[in-house]
Amino acid sequence: MTPYASLDPRQRILMGPGPSTVPNRILRALGSPTLGHLDPQYIGYMDETCQMMRDVFGTTNPLTFPVSGTGMAGMEAVMVNLIEPGDEVIVCINGVFGGRMKDNMQRCGATVHTVEVPWGKTISEEAIAEAVAKHPRATMVGIVHAETSTGALQSLPEISQVVHDAGMLFAVDAVTSMGGHELKVDDWQIDAIYSGTQKCLSCPPGLSPVSFSPAAVEKMDARKTPVQSWYLDVSMLRNYYTGGGASSGARAYHHTAPINMIYALREALMIVLEEGVDQRVARHHAVHLELRSGLEAMGLKYIPDCSLATLNCVATPQGVDEAAVRQRLLTEYDIEIGGGLGVFAGKAWRIGLMGFGATKRNVQTLLAALKDCLE
Ligand code: PLP
């Protein structure tokens, strides 16, 4: 006998900034028998997972794999491998996650130049052109595609062109866009990208899909100093995930891969590809419009410039206790939405429409529940 009861988590409707609700098909995949991390059957599943990641990212980059850890591990993997102490880099900040990129870059020993705009705004091509002209020694520009703290959707192709014209690498945070918004790694010439499993892929949290272009690999291979993180050193990780790399042969053990999470990600990516990436993006957009018109019909207002379909940042009406409303939604309706972050703390709700959760049914359920809470 123990004083503990068996797990019995409630069936919540997860409509916050992530995680999103995980479909049973993915939970079943997660519960499949654990194989050894060098078992040929498992290596086959892993290779398929990496290929499906390429398909969803829109890339042929050989170096595409899931980092063990959440989105922040992907962010660190990009920074720690592509930055050497003394490098100059540029980062765009318009919310929490650009700020975290900066922190990561500084911890890697870089001199970091920032392009900052008020929270919620997006970064213009002109601002990037000015920054790269002012800091010609910079080696990389980092930017967030979908800023989960504000709902800002950053357009990337024009900025990428400016960055490449200046001979720099382009690094992108796609944690809240992969599988929910248009994302074309090769067409948009993205050199390094990281995402997370728990948002628009509707997988549990725990892996970070990443991809590196040949130019990024060249930069890594030319390092004069070892990557200071042993766990996230891609020069070793790639031997395991891709069976190759500059340094050595096939499938070398680095760390024990999170086997069952890979199963889950494989299933999640399969679901994305079965639906079709473009169709999935269109579904997110359609339910976002439905949510938006429902909220606006109730008199609620979006944060200016919030245009993400996957994360809807809505101002809390004057005189309403935003935390109390979230609490009621959770306890009375089993619906989770998020509160504001940073400058929007206490002033906004963040409503996620991600992956499996981006449905008309969820939109209508939330609108009815929210109406009740605001009456
Ligand atoms: N980047 C963005 C845009 C995010 O929204 C998040 C998480 O919400 C992260 C990075 C960090 O991801 P994780 O919480 O999975 O470590």
**Rounded distance from Cα 2 to ligand 1 centre (Å):** 36
Supply the pLDDT for residue 371.
Answer: 97
**DSSP for residue 343:** G
pLDDT at 251: 84
CA distances in angstroms from 331 to 26, 102, 212, 373, 374, listed in the order given: 26, 37, 43, 12, 15
| Residue 283 reports pLDDT greater than 70 | yes
Q: Atom 9 in ligand 1: which residue has the minimum CA distance?
A: 71
* Percent share of the chain, pLDDT over 90: 95
pLDDT digits 0-9 by tens, 113-137: 999 999 999 999 999 999 999 999 9
Mean pLDDT of 245-261: 78
Tell me, yes or no, if the pTM score tops 0.90. Answer: yes
The alpha carbon of 196 and the centre of ligand 1 are apart by a number of angstroms equal to 7
Q: Is 8 helix (H, G, I), strand (E, B) or coil?
A: coil
Q: Examine the pLDDT at 246 and tell me if it is beyond 90.
A: no
Model ipTM over 0.90? yes
Q: Is the CB of 96 under 6 A from ligand 1?
A: no
Confidence of residue 264 (pLDDT cuts 50, 70, 90): very high
Query: Which atom belonging to ligand 1 lies closest to the Cα atom of 145?
Result: 3
Amino acid residing at 183: L
Chain segment 314-364, per-residue pLDDT in tens: 999 999 999 999 999 999 999 999 999 999 999 999 999 999 999 999 999
Answer whether 74 contacts ligand 1 (Cβ < 6 A). Answer: no
* Per-residue pLDDT reduced to its tens digit, 92-111: 999 999 999 999 999 999 99
Give the whole-angstrom CA distance, residue 174 versus residue 193. 7
Distance CA 129, CA 161 (A): 10
Pocket test for ligand 1, best of 176, 261, 350 (most atoms within 8 A of CB): 176
For residues 335 and 329, what is the distance between their CA atoms, to the nearest angstrom? 5
Per-residue pLDDT, 245: 46
Q: Residue 244's pLDDT is what?
A: 58
Whose tokens are 């994360």? That residue is 311
Mutation choice for ligand 1 from 67, 72, 144, CB with most ligand atoms inside 8 A: 72
Q: Which residues are annotated as a binding site for substrate?
A: 350
Residue 360 is predicted with a pLDDT of 98
pLDDT at 279 over 60: yes
Q: Residue whose CA is closest, atom 5 of ligand 1?
A: 148
pLDDT tens per residue, range 56-88: 999 999 999 999 999 999 999 999 999 999 999
- Do the strands 152-153 and 111-116 form a parallel or antiparallel pair, or are they unpaired? unpaired
Rounded Cα distance between 17 and 13, Å, is 12
pLDDT greater than 70 at residue 52: yes
- 70 within ligand 1 shell (Cβ under 6 A): yes
Strand, coil or helix: 228: coil
Q: Which of 175, 350, 351 to mutate to test the pocket of ligand 1 (most atoms within 8 A of CB)?
A: 175
> Please, what is the average pLDDT of the chain?
96
Residues whose CB is less than 8 angstroms from the CB of residue 275 and which lie 6 or more positions away in sequence, other chains included: 283
Decide whether any atom of ligand 1 lies within 6 Å of the 144 Cβ: yes
Give the number of other CB atoms < 10 A from CB of residue 205: 16
| Residue-level pLDDT at 38 | 92
Average pLDDT rounded to a whole number, residues 232-236: 96
103 lines ligand 1 (CB under 6 A): no
Residue 167, pLDDT above cutoff 90:
yes
How much is the average pLDDT of 259-271? 98
Q: How many A from CA of 266 to the centre of ligand 1? A: 20
Is 173 a pocket residue for ligand 1 (Cβ < 6 Å)? yes
Mapping DSSP to helix (H, G, I), strand (E, B) and coil, where does residue 223 land? coil
Residue 212 CA to residue 233 CA, distance in Å, equals 13
Question: Which pLDDT value is given to residue 252?
Answer: 85
In this prediction, residue 248 carries a pLDDT of: 43
Q: Is 17 in the pocket of ligand 1 (CB under 6 A)?
A: yes
Tell whether the model's pLDDT for residue 266 goes beyond 90.
yes
- Ligand 1 centroid–CA 72 distance in Å is 6
150 lines ligand 1 (CB under 6 A): no
User: 195 in ligand 1 pocket by Cβ < 6 Å?
Assistant: no
Specify burial of residue 44 (Cβ count, 10 A radius: 0-12, 13-18, 19+): exposed
